[in-house]
Amino acid sequence: MASRVFLSFVQEDLDLVNLFRRQARTMFLDCSVAQPYNTTDLPYIRRKIRERIAITSVTLCLVGRTTYASEWVDWEIRTSQEQASRIYGIRLNNHVCDPVPRALIEVGALVVDWDFERIIALIEN
């Protein structure tokens, strides 16, 4: 059975995130939010995201140029840690030193380039 993975990312990177999803579709089950919630009810949004993270064993933070500034990404990483998910950062722009979210650093997450062989090895361990 494929591993269940939560993807944490910013909307500005959606084109790259969707490419990542297409490449990964047979490698793991993407349990992240496919479409933004059509509400401004923050407790509802947080509850729904928590539910998605709870059914996963791994969170992949897809790091682009502005990911480091996202309060939501930071919250998703911390929530993943609270729920004992393994957490990794994936650079969407290989070999570019885009800044990573503070929460990734604080939880000691390994950050790697977009290399599916390596990513799958991390997920399956």
**CATH number, domain at 16?**
3.40.50.10140
Reported as a single tens digit per residue, the pLDDT across 24-48 is: 988 999 998 877 777 788 888 899 9
Q: List strands edge to edge, sheet with 58-63.
A: 29-30, 4-8, 58-63, 86-91, 110-113
Whole-number mean pLDDT of the chain? 91
Q: What is the pLDDT of residues 66-83, one digit of tens each?
A: 999 999 999 999 999 999
What angle, 0 to 180 degrees and rounded to 10, lies between the N-to-C axes of helices 116-124 and 14-24?
70
pLDDT in tens, 70-121: 999 999 999 999 998 899 999 999 877 889 999 999 999 999 999 999 999 9
| pLDDT of 1 | 56
- Rg of the chain taking only CA atoms, in angstroms: 13
Q: What is the residue range of 90's domain? A: 4-124
Number of domains in the chain: 1
Q: Could you give phi then psi for residue 81, rounded to 5 degrees?
A: -65, -45
> Which of 11, 45, 9, 5 shows the shortest CA–CA distance to 29?
5
